[in-house]
């Protein structure tokens, strides 16, 4: 099943907060042993295990092997404290993570004993059936492992932004409105006319239109915030967003 492409890429935001958020999630995860670090690390693993799984599968490993290697990579990632050597000035976190995974796969010893060294712990939960189901929906032949990783990375960021905005709307008591309007963000189907949505929810057409505009704006802000967490400098956010949408469009 092919995922519909999102609408236009987010435009620049002038909120000053992005000057201090770059690499914030990664740096928080690096401060080991604190509740904040544990939460940040869990968020990183949950968000980005599938791009690595897809990369490893496209490298030719079977589903079970790919799942084991993905788990093993995260065990190694924690055991060797890879985040401790992260230097935000070096650039984008996705490039760092992919390079670390390639290094891990190149080491045959790591491949064989990574999970044993980790004492059987699973730093990231992988539903193998779900992982393989998602992988089987990927383009079959036209993407290299690296390009597939980048595509899934981009989609993971979009999904995280969508989830973040959805949770905000639901907390604000506007969950039903969000559920009716989120299609304007995903492009998964044709959006219902605003007049029809308004009639269903007891709102005017103009009120629904303005709500959709606010939703788009908040989605752009959320995505920019997430991208800012993975690049070295605030000035790289727009370039990274353009790159990710170019990857999705290719």
The total number of structural domains in the chain stands at 1
Query: Phi and psi for 22 in degrees, rounded to 5?
Result: -65, 135
Q: Is 196 among the domain residues?
A: yes
User: Which run of H or E residues covers position 210?
Assistant: helix 205-228
Tell me the mean pLDDT in the region 107-111.
58
Q: Answer whether 191's CB lies under 8 Å from 4's CB.
A: no
Q: Is 148 among the domain residues?
A: yes
pTM of the complete model: 0.74
* Number of other residues whose CB lies within 10 A of the CB of residue 93: 22
Q: Is 4 among the domain residues?
A: no
What is d(CA 236, CA 218) in angstroms, rounded to the nearest whole number?
Answer: 20
Q: Is 147 among the domain residues?
A: yes
Angle, CA of 19, 44 and 219, to the nearest 5° = 55
Identify which of 186, 206, 189 has the alpha carbon closest to the alpha carbon of residue 197.
Answer: 206
pLDDT digits (tens, 9 = 90+) for 175-226: 999 999 998 887 766 778 899 999 999 999 999 999 999 999 999 999 999 8
Q: Is 5 among the domain residues?
A: no
Comparison of pLDDT for 15 and 204, the residue scoring more: 204
The DSSP string of 138-202 is: S-SSS--HHHHHHHHHHHHHHHHHHHHHHHHHHHTT-HHHHHHHTHHHH-SSPPPPHHHHHHHHT
What is d(CA 207, CA 210) in angstroms, rounded to the nearest whole number?
Answer: 5
Quote the pLDDT of residue 52: 94
Look up the domain containing 66 and give its range.
Answer: 16-249
Give residue 112's pLDDT band: very low, low, confident or very high (50, 70, 90): low
Comparison of pLDDT for 151 and 139, the residue scoring more: 151
Q: Is 10 among the domain residues?
A: no
How does the average pLDDT of the chain come out, rounded? 79
Residues 6+ apart with CB under 8 A from 113: none
* Number of other residues whose CB lies within 10 A of the CB of residue 86: 18
């Amino acid at each position: 099943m092919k995922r519909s492409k999102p609408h236009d890429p987010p435009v620049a935001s002038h909120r000053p907060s992005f000057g201090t958020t770059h690499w914030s999630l990664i740096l928080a995860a690096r401060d080991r042993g604190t509740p904040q670090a544990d939460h940040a690390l869990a968020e990183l693993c949950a968000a980005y295990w599938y791009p690595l799984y897809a990369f490893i599968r496209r490298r030719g490993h079977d589903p079970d092997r790919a799942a084991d290697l993905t788990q093993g990579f995260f065990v190694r990632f924690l055991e060797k404290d890879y985040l401790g050597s992260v230097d935000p000035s070096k650039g984008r976190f996705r490039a760092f993570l992919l390079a670390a995974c390639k290094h891990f796969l190149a080491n045959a010893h790591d491949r064989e004993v990574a999970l044993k060294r980790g004492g059987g712990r699973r730093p990231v939960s992988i539903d193998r059936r779900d992982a393989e189901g998602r992988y089987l929906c990927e383009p079959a032949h036209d993407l290299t492992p690296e390009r597939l990783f980048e595509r899934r990375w981009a989609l993971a960021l979009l999904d995280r932004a969508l989830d973040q905005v959805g949770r905000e709307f639901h907390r604000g008591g506007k969950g039903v409105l969000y559920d009716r309007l989120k299609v304007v963000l995903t492009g998964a189907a044709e959006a219902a006319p605003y007049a029809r949505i308004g009639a269903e929810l007891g709102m005017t057409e103009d009120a629904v239109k303005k709500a959709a505009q606010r939703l788009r704006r908040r989605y752009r802000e959320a995505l920019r915030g997430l991208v800012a967490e993975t690049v070295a400098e605030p000035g790289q956010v727009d370039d990274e967003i353009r790159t990710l949408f170019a990857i999705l469009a290719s």
